[in-house]
């Protein structure tokens, strides 16, 4: 619904700001209900100066008012939504890697940089152990390393672009299904999810998978409505999504739902009796033939099956073994490692987005709008299958944003609607930047980032790494070496021996089981030949002071120069770092 009324909202706007303050206070008071495993409000606000935070939060609501009154972002939504999303995510590039899963993706990418893409593809599943990962996004990361440099910022620019393009695609889907307003506010709603900002800077695959699924839905809608080259693009998008993450397979069922909906309610198109161009004034609105819809859908699925089937034929044993591992280990593990819907939809997502999404279901039923099922299908799957962990729900956030926008359209006062959307975005950015950012920046893996930055200043030429596990390790500490390598410009050498091989029964149900399967790549061991290392880095799970006494006198790389031992104390694994250096 396009709004034309413009009222002053003298009383409504201050009331709206007050509601946002009340919502935040309720979230803060009951923050113990947020059991997110990474950015729980109970952790994030533990060290925050609340008086200063509330002042900044209140100022953000005033800034949102100015934004909603002055900014004309909706006039060129594609350009402005992209730039706003990209710029907002850039602020979080300083966040360190906080998940040890990064080691896998970095290792895959570095292999491509050193040995080439074809060697990577041929060894996938044999020389390269892929755990439960699929190769498409690591393959892209590797190409970026190979042609743009082995730099973390290269990955972060790419991930920010994926995030920003997802915002644009969310707008485009709303435009295709309904109108410009639905799309524009959906794009804004996606910017109002604080959790997303914690994921963009990481060398993981979740943000890219979210983009590829959204791209698949958008290109499929275009393929059904317009045919032609869109059929190829849709099939290619499906191929990329299929080989990005196994969880995307289930979510791609949304394409089948879209096809069924368009068979029941064929999409409209514009035409001229004389065969004139589509989209011009005076065009006649018609309904597509169901047979055209069906054949275009079949064409997309057939071509996608061909694209997917060729690699699957050559790597069938690898894929089957991964699926078996997912069924035996990952699926039961999600129940043990899970979070809650309360955490995800009332804390990690701004609660007004979730409330608007629930209201949109009522509105869609009232309108008997079958197209609504296209965007709500993923959330239905998540609720029915009880997929509660935020990282796995993230893939459906664009559809959640579209649902929220659908519900928001019931607000008839344009200024109020714009102000609510702006408040959601601005307040979420404040929460992400002032609470999530400090929390993530002080997690123990940040020690690897500061170590890399120090080594890049002294440039020792070659860095030897030694790992010392804790007395009761929860993971193989050797997995920290590739994460350190991500931050370090100089060559790293490491023999890969952690000295611990726990019984399988002790690690069978661990969420970090993959670390015990980690084997140091050959390029770390090849470095032992040639030039003597100029620095020694000791990564330890023991107290740093105790570690220093253990290795003192046994190192041949100079004096102890730096110690990094930042930790939030929230996790069992908290590695410290000691650096020994020959230089002054």
pLDDT digits (tens, 9 = 90+) for 72-113: 666 789 999 999 999 999 999 999 999 999 999 999 999 999
pLDDT digits (tens, 9 = 90+) for 384-419: 999 999 999 999 999 999 999 999 999 888 889 999
Adjacent-strand bridge partners of 578: 538, 563
> Could you write out the DSSP letters of every residue in 107-171?
HHHHHHHHH-HHHHHHHBTTTB--TT--SHHHHHHHHHHHHH-S-HHHHHHHHHHHHHHHHHHHH
SS (H, E, C) 176-200: HHCCHHHHHHHHHHHCCCHHHHHHC
Q: What percent of the chain has pLDDT over 90?
A: 70
pLDDT of residue 50: 96
Q: Could you tell me which of 31, 12, 2 has the C-alpha nearest to residue 347?
A: 31
The Cα–Cα gap between 21 and 25 comes to: 6
In the predicted model, what is the mean pLDDT of the chain? 90
pLDDT digits (tens, 9 = 90+) for 323-346: 998 888 877 766 776 789 999 999
The helix/strand/coil state of 444 is: coil
pLDDT digits (tens, 9 = 90+) for 120-137: 999 999 889 898 999 999
pLDDT digits (tens, 9 = 90+) for 536-548: 999 998 877 776 6
The residue among 552 and 399 whose pLDDT is bigger is 399
The mean per-residue pLDDT over the stretch 237-243 comes to: 98
Lowest mean pLDDT among 216-225, 262-271, 316-325: 262-271
pLDDT digits (tens, 9 = 90+) for 420-446: 999 999 999 999 999 999 999 999 899
> Could you write out the DSSP letters of every residue in 455-492?
HHHH--SEEEEEEE--SS-SS-GGGHHHHHHHH--SEE
> Could you write out the DSSP letters of every residue in 520-532?
--HHHHHTTSSSP
Q: Inter-axis angle of helices 12-29 and 351-367, to 10 degrees?
A: 120
Alpha helices in 12-135 (DSSP H): 12-29, 41-44, 50-70, 77-90, 102-115, 117-123
Q: What is the pTM of this model?
A: 0.93
Alpha helices in 204-349 (DSSP H): 206-226, 229-242, 247-251, 253-264, 290-314, 316-325, 331-337, 341-343
Q: Could you tell me which of 99, 160, 115, 108 has the C-alpha nearest to residue 133?
A: 108
Strands 576-581 and 535-540: antiparallel
Give domain limits for the chain: 12-441, 446-581
The Cα–Cα gap between 239 and 8 comes to: 50
Q: Residue 275 — left, alpha, or beta (φ > 0 → left; ψ -120 to 50 → alpha)?
A: left
Kind and range of the H or E element at 445? none
The Cα–Cα gap between 85 and 69 comes to: 20
pLDDT of residue 405: 97
The mean per-residue pLDDT over the stretch 298-305 comes to: 98
**Spatial CB neighbours of 502, under 8 Å, sequence gap ≥ 6:** 473, 516
Q: Could you tell me which of 567, 563, 560 has the C-alpha nearest to residue 544?
A: 563
Kind and range of the H or E element at 31? none
pLDDT of residue 426: 97
pLDDT of residue 322: 92
């Amino acid at each position: 619904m396009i709004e034309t009324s413009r009222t002053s909202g003298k009383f409504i706007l201050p009331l709206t700001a007050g509601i946002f303050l009340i919502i935040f206070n309720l979230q803060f008071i009951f923050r113990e209900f947020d059991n997110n495993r990474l950015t729980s409000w109970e952790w994030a606000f533990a060290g925050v100066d609340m008086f200063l935070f509330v002042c900044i939060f209140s100022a953000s609501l005033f800034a949102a008012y100015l934004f909603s009154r002055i900014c004309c972002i909706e006039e060129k939504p594609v350009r402005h939504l992209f730039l706003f999303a990209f710029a907002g995510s850039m602020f979080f590039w300083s966040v360190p890697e906080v998940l040890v899963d990064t080691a896998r993706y970095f290792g895959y990418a570095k292999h491509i940089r050193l040995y080439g893409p074809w060697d990577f593809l041929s060894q996938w599943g044999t020389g390269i152990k892929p755990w439960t990962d699929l190769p498409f996004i690591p393959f892209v990361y590797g190409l970026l390393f190979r042609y743009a440099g082995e730099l973390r910022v290269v990955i972060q620019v790419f991930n920010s672009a994926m995030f920003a393009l997802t915002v644009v695609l969310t707008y485009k889907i709303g435009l295709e299904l309904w109108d410009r307003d639905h799309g524009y506010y959906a794009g804004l709603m996606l910017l109002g999810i604080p959790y997303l900002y914690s994921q963009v800077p990481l060398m993981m695959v979740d943000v890219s998978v979210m983009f590829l699924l959204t791209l698949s839905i958008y290109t499929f809608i275009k393929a059904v409505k317009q045919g032609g080259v869109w059929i190829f693009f849709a099939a290619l998008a499906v191929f990329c999504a299929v080989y990005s993450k196994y969880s995307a397979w289930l979510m791609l069922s949304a394409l089948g739902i879209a096809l069924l909906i368009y068979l029941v309610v064929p999409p409209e198109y514009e035409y001229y009796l004389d065969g004139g161009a589509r989209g011009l004034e005076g065009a006649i609105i018609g309904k597509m033939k169901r047979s055209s819809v069906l054949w275009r859908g079949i064409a997309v699925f057939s071509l996608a099956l061909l694209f997917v089937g060729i690699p699957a034929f050559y790597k069938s044993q690898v894929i089957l073994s991964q699926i078996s591992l997912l069924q035996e280990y990952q699926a039961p593990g999600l129940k043990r490692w899970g979070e809650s819907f309360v955490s995800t939809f009332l804390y990690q997502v701004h609660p007004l987005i979730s409330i608007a999404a629930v209201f949109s279901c009522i509105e869609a039923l009232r309108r008997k709008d079958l197209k609504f099922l296209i965007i709500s299908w993923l959330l239905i799957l998540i609720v029915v299958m009880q997929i509660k962990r935020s990282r796995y729900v993230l893939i459906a956030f664009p559809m959640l944003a579209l649902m929220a926008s659908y519900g928001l359209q019931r607000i008839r006062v344009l200024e109020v609607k714009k102000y609510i959307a702006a408040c959601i975005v601005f307040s979420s950015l404040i929460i992400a930047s002032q609470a999530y950012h400090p929390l993530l920046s002080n997690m123990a893996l940040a020690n690897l980032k500061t170590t890399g930055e120090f080594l890049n200043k002294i440039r020792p030429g070659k860095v030897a790494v030694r790992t010392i596990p804790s007395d009761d390790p929860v993971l193989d500490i050797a997995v920290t070496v590739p994460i350190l390598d991500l931050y370090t410009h100089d060559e790293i050498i490491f023999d890969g021996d952690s000295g611990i091989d726990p019984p399988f029964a002790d690690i069978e149900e661990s969420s970090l089981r993959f670390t015990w399967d980690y084997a140091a790549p050959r390029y770390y061991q090849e470095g032992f030949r040639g030039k003597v290392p100029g620095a020694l880095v000791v990564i330890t799970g023991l107290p740093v002071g105790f570690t220093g006494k253990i290795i003192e006198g046994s190192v041949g790389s100079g004096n102890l120069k730096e110690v990094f031992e930042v930790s939030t104390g929230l996790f069992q694994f908290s590695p410290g770092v000691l650096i020994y250096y020959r230089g002054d």
